[in-house]
Chains A and B, each alone.
Chain A
């Protein structure tokens, strides 16, 4: 019996000691946080690939400040409670600059840790307006426009260019989609030229949206403004077209994704979506896309270029600030030193939004997104 007790105590102690970390080599660490598994993995994984490509490129050219850059990738599954663990893990590993996170909710949770630990986060995809507008997160930057800016653009486009009068606003009940739809609805209601004939949340992942589609038809809406991601958007568009409806479909950069066109196929024709300004002529963007093709044998996924730009901005700031420990220097550099990225030349304003990342409206024409002039 004594032996048993001894064995248990040894085991317990061993378990306690087994969790010690190992000493780190002298590299510059760049964290990547986001959803790398689970149902939103397809939004998080392209960021990892972008960071890998940027780092590979930089390291091939000798690294920065004479040191190699090391990526520290951690998964947060887009869940706030996991994101706090992810954040502390990154902080523990000596990361001072993070590219991420992907979802706004997880980003907010992670930022509460980063803020206390003086860690900077540059998100390629967290669009919640509060992140920059509330002033709560001085350590947060993003290479994507916020929801309200996008909603404004969508509404202006619908009213000024398309001259629409009856608009249905739909969303996917998610953090991103509903936030955007709320803004769009607010802007539309403030404008006397048009009315919101329908405002509804659809159930994401449902097998069929015919009831909602019939409802849109009955309200006689000329257009649908949809806040959400491409899987739902393509289902709705497909069902509308299959019901022989030609209602205009306007959506956000969650839909301005080539996967949308692939999935919706012929039905995608004519759909409008807002997204970062056209960069298909930008040599850096072409190079980045080509590098992705070569390294992974596939087209890049969602937010790839935003993440690419975020990683570049992060590394540039580290170089200018002379290392990752100079928190004030990093912020100063992010705000003042412009970087050439696939999105164009960018720097950040004092709230953390990127300057130089323009938004424009796109339309699907012959299977590709074309910028609307």
Chain B
């Protein structure tokens, strides 16, 4: 119901935003020609827009709060659609089959561009899952993940340039180098926690990038390395379209491999140790978990996937330079993990799809693309703070024979 109070509230919001956006949206100065442009139309638009949006906003916030209250009162934990899929074999098997068919026929139905961005999305699934090990599972905030990605990419580019090593040889080398660098980063930061860890990893990422930028003799500096061969297939010569499809399937296969491995890892002994470490470091040590080893394996295994993805990146783009490995890239991957739902594999997969595909499809908005993207990030977090798939804590329950799905 739109009561008078509601309208008054919205009016206040509208006035507030008109005031707030006044200098930046309304006035435009040209200091060279000494002219001032007043754009009062914008102010009207902001006023009207914020007036209407404030109703929607309040409504949504109220709904969210109600939902939270209901949850607190314990009126039935509503499982999200994704969790239900995960729980029920009857649902998830057909769903998986449909997804598999969709992924399989996709490159034969759509244009090259679509295949290409889908390939990118699958690459980011690998990256997201790798970072998920470090951030989501082990709870170590890593803002320099892109460094390992760069290590993989440069490993392939340089080994190919100097020694002519092929993509397939470089793939395991890239992964191994990623792991080595993961341990290299892991050692000094063993004692750090939380945001101190975040800033040191951020620094590590920047250090790698700056070295690549400055050390011309080693990395060819900012002008990068061009003409990196695309992954080959027993010397078969491909057309551009066929090659795009080939890389697509290659990346899909690797992504599935990643999903499989990460899934196994999470349920393994070391996976449990990571979870324990995330929940309580001290209790974890008290229970006899080797903290040093657990943390280092988390860094190393997380970095392995980035190294792998880096090699593919170099092969797919055929040109790399340090500009591809900026802090923004790390942040992007972190967004995938958090937006998807930390610690959840399905979540990370969905997060990667959303975060890679959304900006591409938002191209229709042209210059409003990133603006919209930022908005979506904020709104997603405000209304679904746990991510698309909130990770449910693993609980072990003993159920009687007649208690089933409600």
Q: Which residues of A contact B (CB under 8 A)?
A: 1-2, 4-5, 8-9, 12-13, 15-17, 19-21, 36-38, 73-75, 78-81, 84-85, 88-89, 91-92, 104-105, 108-109, 112-113, 116-117, 128, 130, 134, 136, 173-175, 178-179, 182, 201, 262, 298-299
Q: A43 to chain B: closest CB distance in Å?
A: 14
- Which residue from chain B places its CB closest to the CB of A103 in the assembled complex? B323
* Contact-residue bracket for chain B: 35 or more
The SS class assigned to the B binding surface is helix
Residues of A contacting B214 with CB < 8 Å? Answer: 173, 201
**Complex alpha-carbon distance, A117 and B240, angstroms:** 7
Q: B30 to chain A: closest CB distance in Å?
A: 8
The answer on a CB contact under 8 Å between B222 and A5 is: no
Residues of A contacting B216 with CB < 8 Å? Answer: 178, 182
Q: Which of A17, A80, A85, A134 contacts B320 (CB 8 A)?
A: A80
**Complex alpha-carbon distance, A314 and B224, angstroms:** 28
- Which residue from chain B places its CB closest to the CB of A2 in the assembled complex? B90
Q: B105 to chain A: closest CB distance in Å?
A: 8
Residues of B contacting A298 with CB < 8 Å? Answer: 30
**Complex alpha-carbon distance, A175 and B225, angstroms:** 11
| Chain B 81-97 interface 0/1 with A at a Cβ cutoff of 8 Å (1 = within) | 10011001011001100
- Which residue from chain B places its CB closest to the CB of A38 in the assembled complex? B370
**Given A85-B360, A105-B323, A136-B226, A12 and B98 touching (CB < 8 A)?**
yes
The answer to the question of B99 belonging to the interface, with a C-beta cut-off of 8 Å to chain A, is: yes
- Which residue from chain B places its CB closest to the CB of A5 in the assembled complex? B94
Those of B157-177 within 8 Å (CB) of chain A: none
| Additional A-B contact list (19), CB under 8 Å, known A8-B98, A37-B367 | A1-B90, A5-B95, A12-B99, A75-B366, A80-B321, A81-B313, A84-B318, A88-B112, A92-B112, A92-B113, A105-B223, A105-B321, A105-B323, A109-B318, A112-B227, A116-B240, A116-B243, A175-B321, A201-B214
- The 9 lowest CB-CB distance pairs between A and B, nearest first, are A116-B240, A89-B113, A109-B319, A92-B111, A112-B318, A9-B98, A88-B113, A92-B113, A175-B222
Q: A342 to chain B: closest CB distance in Å?
A: 22
The answer to the question of B109 belonging to the interface, with a C-beta cut-off of 8 Å to chain A, is: yes
The answer on a CB contact under 8 Å between B224 and A105 is: yes
The answer on a CB contact under 8 Å between B224 and A108 is: yes
Residues of A contacting B221 with CB < 8 Å? Answer: 178
**Complex alpha-carbon distance, A1 and B363, angstroms:** 36
**Complex alpha-carbon distance, A81 and B320, angstroms:** 8
The answer on a CB contact under 8 Å between B102 and A36 is: no
Residues of B contacting A136 with CB < 8 Å? Answer: 226-227
Residues of A contacting B369 with CB < 8 Å? Answer: 37, 75
**Complex alpha-carbon distance, A104 and B319, angstroms:** 11
Q: Which of B91, B109, B324 contacts A5 (CB 8 A)?
A: B91
- Which residue from chain A places its CB closest to the CB of B30 in the assembled complex? A298
The answer to the question of B297 belonging to the interface, with a C-beta cut-off of 8 Å to chain A, is: no
The answer on a CB contact under 8 Å between A179 and B223 is: yes
Q: Which of A15, A17, A105, A113 contacts B240 (CB 8 A)?
A: A113
The answer to the question of B246 belonging to the interface, with a C-beta cut-off of 8 Å to chain A, is: no
The answer on a CB contact under 8 Å between B319 and A1 is: no
Q: Which residues of B contact A (CB under 8 A)?
A: 30-32, 81, 84-85, 88, 90-91, 94-95, 98-99, 102, 105-106, 109-114, 116-117, 120, 213-214, 216, 221-224, 226-227, 239-240, 243-244, 313, 316-321, 323-324, 360, 363, 366-367, 369-370
**Complex alpha-carbon distance, A123 and B370, angstroms:** 25
**Complex alpha-carbon distance, A104 and B224, angstroms:** 10
**Complex alpha-carbon distance, A178 and B321, angstroms:** 13
**Complex alpha-carbon distance, A267 and B370, angstroms:** 35
- Which residue from chain A places its CB closest to the CB of B369 in the assembled complex? A37
**Complex alpha-carbon distance, A174 and B85, angstroms:** 49
**Given A21-B111, A85-B120, A92-B112, A128 and B321 touching (CB < 8 A)?**
no
Q: A325 to chain B: closest CB distance in Å?
A: 16
The answer on a CB contact under 8 Å between A5 and B120 is: no
Residues of B contacting A299 with CB < 8 Å? Answer: 32
Residues of A contacting B367 with CB < 8 Å? Answer: 36-37
- Which residue from chain B places its CB closest to the CB of A131 in the assembled complex? B226
The answer on a CB contact under 8 Å between A84 and B116 is: yes
The answer on a CB contact under 8 Å between B111 and A4 is: no
Residues of A contacting B222 with CB < 8 Å? Answer: 105, 173-175, 178-179
Q: A39 to chain B: closest CB distance in Å?
A: 10
Q: Which of B227, B244, B313, B370 contacts A37 (CB 8 A)?
A: B370
**Complex alpha-carbon distance, A38 and B221, angstroms:** 22
**Complex alpha-carbon distance, A13 and B110, angstroms:** 13
Residues of B contacting A179 with CB < 8 Å? Answer: 222-223
CB-defined A-B contacts under 8 Å, sample of 13:
A4-B81, A4-B91, A12-B98, A84-B317, A85-B113, A92-B111, A105-B223, A105-B319, A108-B224, A130-B223, A136-B227, A178-B216, A262-B31
Residues of B contacting A38 with CB < 8 Å? Answer: 370
Q: Which of A79, A130, A262 contacts B32 (CB 8 A)?
A: A262
Residues of A contacting B320 with CB < 8 Å? Answer: 80
Scoring B94, B120, B239 by chain A CB atoms within 10 A of each residue's CB, the highest score goes to B94
- Which residue from chain A places its CB closest to the CB of B106 in the assembled complex? A16
Residues of B contacting A108 with CB < 8 Å? Answer: 224, 226, 319
